[in-house]
Chain A
Amino acid sequence: MDILKQFVTRTRIEGVVILSVALAYLWEAHNVPEFYQIPGVPGPTTFPYLLGLVFAACGAWLLISPKDLWRMWSKPAEAVAAPAPAGPGLGSRIASHWHLIAMWAVVLAYLWFMPDIGFPVATFLLLFTFFYLLGETRWHIVLALSLTVTVVVYVSFKMGLNVRLPLGVLEFLVK
């Protein structure tokens, strides 16, 4: 069990991920229909095959991590004597990083829902939560800032630079 724990390092997990992405990529390249290939001429899959092979080789290298293996092999006693300190449980790790996770959740939700909810509302909500998450707890300042920034950005990009920004749920206003 200890040996296994030593073997499963972050680098090796990354190696597995990279290797699987490479294999999936090669498989997709393999699935490009035959009739696009003209014999004797490099087709649409020639370059991808090359890339996929290099990527797979990198993944395999990281998975094996020869240097690491060699260290384990040459100094097994020392390696066993100093096992990695047991990481805190998943629950407590989430608790200590809740702030980071919350920020990413807000950013991703914004990118995902913005086209549907519309730019003004989504941006206002994003700014409101983000200012708050960044440590500005006086709610009247957060509110005023979010509103002002939303309006200024919306007006300047819409009018000034002619960017089409979705109104989303606010569309009833223009009807």
Chain B
Amino acid sequence: MFEHLINGFAVALMPYNLMIALAGCLVGTLIGVLPGLGPTATLAMLIPLVFSMPPATALILLTSVYYGSMYGGSTTSILVNIPGESASVITTIDGHKMAMQGRAGPALAIAAIGSFIAGTFAVAMLTLVGKPIATYSLYFGPAEFFSLMLFGLCTVASLTGGNVMKSIVSTCFGLMIATVGIDLVSGAARFTFGNPFLQDGVDFVVIAIGMFALTEVVVTAREVRSGVRAEIVEPKGLFVKWSEFVYSLPSIGRGTVFGFLVGMLPGAGATLSTFIAYNLEKRLCKNPERLGTGDIRGVACPEAANNAASGASLVPLLTLGLPGGGATAVMLGALMMLDITPGPLMFEKHGAMLWALIASMYVGNALLLVLNWPLVNIFARVMRVPAKYLMPIVLVISTIGVWSLSYSAVDLVLTGAAGLLGFYMRINKYPVEPLILGLILGGKMEQAYRQALIISNGSNSIFVEKPISLVLLGLALLFLFLPMILKKSQQFNAARETAQAS
């Protein structure tokens, strides 16, 4: 394994890849700092760009943007009291209080250190458990994979948004969009309404850009007109005292472990992990009454959790092909477009590339620490770039992204329609992530379903006869009813609301 890892480092440290990782971390931090522009929209906009790159480089770019945004989100939480991402909402509680008390420096420092430790831990775990999980999933047949994907969709549906029924509607609609186009097995044109442009199906990038980028532009633009200018607290020093570091070390450790465990679960994602970690921290640490009053542990714990979780969400993505949320779903789509199917055979077929990715994540975490710590003031100022100048430019670049996919006017119209629908969904609390996830998994899911039925001679009972599949289906059902069981937990509800708002 170590020789694989060393080979991976050789690829990741090539100047070109190093540059890409640096650029990705920068872009990620920037979008993390900018409220409104999330990682999912940015990744969708980047996809047309990565086509021209070798797969390893493309993956390095996408992942570095993804975890870079987790770093950046905390900066504005602490300095401005506006979380850049939903995953750093919790950080505002203690982080901004610290900044108001003139301790912005230690808060930023511990956020960076905590993120670094957690990020590195997550990569180390990915290094260790990735291959065994992938090997285990070789036992999976079509029936098991169908149930696994159903389980993934159910967890996402149950954990994002306030209303499970609305999430199911969203998921199902995504799956339905995925069936548009020519059926690969029989050649039948389905739901194309005679339009030749629809025969290739609906590209998920088209929908993702419409639903994330376009709606984000309009939503932010609407806030701009009624918004107030944020006050930025200037941090004085950028160092944290050794005693404070030792004081928050256990919190970082707990945040990392919880974050990683929660993050592995599809659908839970980074946001939920911060809520759970903070909540558990309150019960487990000494002097819990200090949390919420500007305690450094209140920054360390959720920051460690969200970085561990974003690393952990790559485990099911790379080993099982199961994305956990909007951002990883877009990454899965990108991988499939590059003709790489994540899943059990990933380590066999694309091992070199995967190890390069893992190595680059070690490098990226170090880069982020080096980038973010001294430059934090500059990043905080980026927030001052008024959204009124930024949003129209985002709009133009997303349009180019859609256009460059296949130079088709139909795609642009579909993007517009997706944008309108996404806007309606957002306002009326239909979560958008499940739709994108359904759209991306739809093809694979149908394939698995049909293969399973062919094996069983058309009998649906195959899904309950195979033990692994049965367990997964049971878990899927359990997750669908989880919100009803946990209805009373305010923490859980708050977390879900936040996860949806992102």
Q: Which residues of A contact B (CB under 8 A)?
A: 10, 14, 18, 21, 25, 28-29, 32-33, 36-38, 40-48, 50-52, 54-55, 58-59, 61-62, 99-100, 103-104, 107-108, 110-112, 114-115, 119, 123, 126-127, 130-131, 133-136, 145, 149, 153, 157, 161, 163-165
A-B pairs with lowest CB-CB distance, top 6: A44-B183, A134-B388, A36-B188, A130-B392, A111-B416, A44-B188
Q: Judge whether B183 and A36 touch: CB under 8 Å.
A: yes
Q: How far apart sit A32 and B182, CA to CA, in the bound complex (Å)?
A: 11
Q: How far apart sit A59 and B172, CA to CA, in the bound complex (Å)?
A: 11
Interface string of B153-170 (1 = CB under 8 A from A): 000000000000100110
Q: Which residues of A contact B185 (CB under 8 A)?
A: 44
Closest A residue by C-beta to B449: A47
- Whether a CB of chain A sits under 8 angstroms from the CB of B366 is no
Q: Which residues of B contact A29 (CB under 8 A)?
A: 190-191
Q: Which residues of B contact A107 (CB under 8 A)?
A: 214, 217-218, 395, 416, 419
Q: How far apart sit A18 and B403, CA to CA, in the bound complex (Å)?
A: 30
Q: How far apart sit A130 and B396, CA to CA, in the bound complex (Å)?
A: 11
Q: How far apart sit A157 and B173, CA to CA, in the bound complex (Å)?
A: 34
Q: Which residues of B contact A153 (CB under 8 A)?
A: 393, 396-397, 400
Q: How far apart sit A44 and B222, CA to CA, in the bound complex (Å)?
A: 43
Most chain A CB atoms below 10 A, which of B183, B186, B409, B446: B186
Closest B residue by C-beta to A141: B389
Q: Which residues of B contact A135 (CB under 8 A)?
A: 224-225, 388
Closest B residue by C-beta to A131: B392
Closest A residue by C-beta to B430: A14
Q: Judge whether B454 and A112 touch: CB under 8 Å.
A: no
- Whether a CB of chain A sits under 8 angstroms from the CB of B279 is no
10 A-B pairs in the complex with CB atoms less than 8 angstroms apart: A42-B453, A47-B449, A47-B450, A48-B176, A55-B172, A58-B165, A103-B218, A112-B412, A112-B416, A114-B399
Q: Which residues of B contact A36 (CB under 8 A)?
A: 183, 186-188
Q: How many A-B residue pairs have CB under 8 A?
A: 154
| A58 nearest CB across to chain B (Å) | 5
| B191 nearest CB across to chain A (Å) | 5
Most chain B CB atoms below 10 A, which of A40, A47, A55, A112: A47
Q: How far apart sit A164 and B222, CA to CA, in the bound complex (Å)?
A: 32
| With A14-B428, A32-B190, A100-B218 as contacts: A48 and B179 at CB distance below 8 Å | yes
Q: Which residues of B contact A (CB under 8 A)?
A: 48-49, 52, 165, 168-169, 172-173, 175-176, 179, 183, 185-191, 214, 217-218, 221-222, 224-225, 387-389, 391-393, 395-397, 399-400, 403-404, 407, 409, 412-413, 415-416, 419-420, 423, 428, 445-446, 449-450, 453-454, 457-458
Q: Judge whether A18 and B169 touch: CB under 8 Å.
A: yes
Q: Which residues of B contact A41 (CB under 8 A)?
A: 453-454, 458
Q: Judge whether B446 and A157 touch: CB under 8 Å.
A: no
Q: How far apart sit A63 and B391, CA to CA, in the bound complex (Å)?
A: 37
Q: Judge whether A134 and B396 touch: CB under 8 Å.
A: no
Q: How far apart sit A43 and B188, CA to CA, in the bound complex (Å)?
A: 9
Q: Judge whether B225 and A157 touch: CB under 8 Å.
A: no
| A78 nearest CB across to chain B (Å) | 23
Q: How far apart sit A145 and B390, CA to CA, in the bound complex (Å)?
A: 11
| B253 nearest CB across to chain A (Å) | 43
Beyond A54-B168, A130-B221, 20 additional pairs, beta carbon < 8 A: A18-B169, A28-B190, A33-B188, A42-B449, A42-B458, A47-B449, A51-B172, A51-B176, A54-B172, A59-B169, A61-B165, A103-B221, A107-B214, A107-B395, A110-B399, A114-B403, A115-B412, A135-B224, A157-B400, A161-B49
| With A131-B388, A134-B221, A135-B225 as contacts: A55 and B190 at CB distance below 8 Å | no
Most chain A CB atoms below 10 A, which of B52, B176, B217: B176
Q: Judge whether A163 and B397 touch: CB under 8 Å.
A: no
Q: Which residues of A contact B189 (CB under 8 A)?
A: 32
Q: Judge whether B173 and A55 touch: CB under 8 Å.
A: yes
Q: Judge whether B392 and A126 touch: CB under 8 Å.
A: yes
Q: How far apart sit A37 and B49, CA to CA, in the bound complex (Å)?
A: 40
Q: Which residues of B contact A46 (CB under 8 A)?
A: 449-450, 453
Q: Which residues of A contact B393 (CB under 8 A)?
A: 127, 149, 153
Q: Judge whether B392 and A164 touch: CB under 8 Å.
A: no
| B393 nearest CB across to chain A (Å) | 6
Q: How far apart sit A153 and B396, CA to CA, in the bound complex (Å)?
A: 8
Q: How far apart sit A89 and B188, CA to CA, in the bound complex (Å)?
A: 48
Q: Which residues of A contact B225 (CB under 8 A)?
A: 99, 134-135
